[in-house]
């Protein structure tokens, strides 16, 4: 039997298991039905996704300022014209929209934007969320829950019913990285804090985190970090990271997700589409894993060039769990490279992907594209085992895939909680 035939046979076995779903999506910006208008869905939300907006500015003759003052529906039409009519949708985010529309039973070339909008007019939000979860094979979605977001805080204060499928993650970027801009919001919630980090303010920020941890019951806390983040550089963010965030996680036994390497507002004119990527100094991560062996760190890095070092660090520290192909690395060529590297260095002891979905429908294409690559990577590894006489059983394939698509994460964090 040729290697190609052997690998193809393994690929169909792996694809069948992957298609049976049961995936846990450990980081998204989605919300469950209880969060009302925070739920993003529909064709205009998909077309104005910041990935597509950024790509549109490479074609549009309009300035970002003139674009962003337009109503969302007009912005969506401009993106559609720029990326789907005026040129072929060849980028990952544009092909992704085509994958999604096809999965929903639409034919974008025939229906056109008007036809797609007519179809969406007949959809109901709660049913549509369930449809997207079913089509994507995702059984649990971790949200990004920010206690300093006034709209989200109001949803929690209104105490609407939770949804088992949507789990919580406590996001603390604003609190730790931009305290000067966040202090007022925390004070407005009744905590005795000021912009200066006095002992009293530190204690009150800790109490703020205690209150919101009790309310949200998060599976983990999460923060994104710039490439040059240090924990000992005398900055306000460094002391808040150490004396508030790490202390809070240790007291509550909360795993901490670090997303390292983002350069915020590289081009401020593009708004949310203006963030970039930078090569991170992972010595900070190495020091954290060594100095806090009881702290569990979920880590993803944004620069392609940091991926190998992250794998080597994961070989040194069992309290480091690599996850996902984040943002600018969430493209087939790099997902392939990262996943092979991780399997070769770590075996199935990492979480292969998170979708980072912002619009509910993103679940469909992001997981469909990732499953295609995961099937290729696993099939080639099983084919190599097969060639050496080690035939993995269907149950073992299921076990390995479960570990890579949420099972490993759940045992690392100790099981998510419903919001």
The number of residues that bind ligand HDL (CB under 6 A) is 9
55 forms part of the interface with Zn ion (CB under 5 A): no
Nearer to ligand HDL, 11 or 354 (CB): 354
327 forms part of the interface with ligand HDL (CB under 6 A): yes
Cβ of residue 408: shortest distance to ligand HDL, in angstroms?
A: 21
DSSP line for 200-234 = HHHHHHHHHHHHHHHHH--S-EEEEE-TT--SSSS
**101 Cβ contact list (under 8 Å, min separation 6):** 107, 108, 116
- Return d(Cα 128, Cα 100) in angstroms, integer: 13
Cβ of residue 130: shortest distance to Zn ion, in angstroms?
A: 23
Nearer to ligand HDL, 146 or 201 (CB): 146
Interaction partner, residue 375 (Zn ion, ligand HDL, none; CB < 5-8 Å by kind): none
173 forms part of the interface with Zn ion (CB under 5 A): no
- In 3D space, the residue among 280, 210, 292, 283 whose CA is nearest the CA of residue 246 turns out to be 292
- In 3D space, the residue among 21, 77, 17, 12 whose CA is nearest the CA of residue 48 turns out to be 77
Please report the sign of the dihedral spanned by the C-alpha atoms of residue 325, residue 326, residue 327, residue 328: negative
382 forms part of the interface with ligand HDL (CB under 6 A): no
Tokens for 299, please give them.
Answer: 């880590």
Q: How many CB atoms lie within 10 A of CB 65?
A: 8
- Return left, alpha or beta for 198; rule: phi > 0 is left, psi -120 to 50 is alpha, else beta: beta
The number of residues that bind Zn ion (CB under 5 A) is 1
Nearer to ligand HDL, 237 or 381 (CB): 237
Site for Zn ion, residues 337 to 376, rule: CB under 5 A: 356
Cβ of residue 307: shortest distance to ligand HDL, in angstroms?
A: 16
Q: How many CB atoms lie within 10 A of CB 163?
A: 17
Nearer to ligand HDL, 258 or 320 (CB): 258
220 forms part of the interface with ligand HDL (CB under 6 A): no
Contact map string, positions 266 to 295, toward ligand HDL, x by CB under 6 A: ------x--x--------------------
Nearer to Zn ion, 173 or 356 (CB): 356
Nearer to Zn ion, 325 or 377 (CB): 325
Q: Which of 136, 224, 339, 368 binds ligand HDL (CB under 6 A)?
A: 224
- In 3D space, the residue among 397, 364, 374 whose CA is nearest the CA of residue 138 turns out to be 364
- Return d(Cα 210, Cα 170) in angstroms, integer: 11
Task: Give the residues lining the site for ligand HDL (CB under 6 A).
Answer: 29, 224, 259, 262, 272, 275, 327, 356, 358
């Amino acid at each position: 039997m040729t290697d190609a035939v052997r690998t193809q046979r393994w690929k169909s076995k792996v694809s069948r298991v992957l298609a049976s779903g049961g995936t846990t999506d450990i980081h998204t910006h989605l919300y469950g039905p209880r969060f009302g208008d925070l739920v993003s869905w529909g064709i205009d939300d998909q077309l104005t996704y910041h990935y597509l907006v950024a790509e549109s500015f490479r074609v549009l003759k309009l300035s970002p300022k003139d674009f962003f003052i337009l109503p969302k529906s007009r912005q969506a039409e401009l993106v559609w014209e720029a990326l789907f009519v005026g040129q072929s949708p060849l980028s990952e985010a544009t092909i992704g929209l085509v994958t999604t529309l096809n999965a929903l039973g639409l034919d974008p070339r025939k229906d056109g934007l008007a036809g797609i909008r007519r179809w969406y007019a007949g959809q109901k939000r709660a049913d549509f969320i369930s449809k997207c979860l079913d089509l994507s094979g995702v059984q649990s979605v971790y949200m990004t829950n920010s206690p300093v977001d006034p709209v989200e805080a109001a949803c929690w204060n209104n105490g609407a019913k939770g949804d088992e499928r949507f789990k919580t993650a406590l996001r603390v970027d604003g609190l730790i990285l931009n305290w000067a801009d966040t202090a007022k919001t925390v004070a407005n919630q009744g905590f005795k804090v000021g912009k200066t980090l006095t002992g009293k303010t530190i204690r009150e920020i800790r109490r703020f985190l205690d209150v919101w941890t009790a309310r949200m019951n998060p599976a983990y806390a999460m923060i994104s970090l710039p490439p040059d983040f240090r924990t000992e550089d005398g900055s306000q963010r460094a002391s808040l990271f150490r004396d508030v965030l790490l202390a809070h996680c240790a007291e509550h036994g909360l795993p901490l997700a670090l997303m390292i390497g983002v350069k915020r507002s590289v081009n401020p004119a593009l708004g949310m589409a203006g963030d970039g990527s930078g090569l991170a100094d992972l010595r900070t991560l190495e020091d954290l894993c060594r100095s806090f062996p009881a702290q569990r760190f979920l880590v993803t890095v944004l620069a392609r060039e940091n991926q190998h070092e992250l794998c080597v660090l994961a070989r040194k520290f069992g309290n480091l769990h690599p996850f996902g192909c984040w943002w600018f690395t969430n493209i087939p060529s790099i997902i392939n490279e990262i996943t092979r590297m991780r399997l070769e260095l770590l075996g199935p002891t990492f979480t292969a992907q998170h979708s980072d979905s912002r619009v509910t429908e993103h679940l469909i294409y992001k997981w469909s594209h990732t499953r295609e690559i995961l099937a290729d990577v696993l099939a080639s590894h099983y084919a190599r085992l097969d060639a050496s006489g080690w035939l993995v059983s269907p149950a073992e394939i299921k076990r390995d895939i479960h570990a890579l698509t949420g099972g490993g994460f759940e045992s690392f964090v100790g099981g998510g909680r419903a919001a």
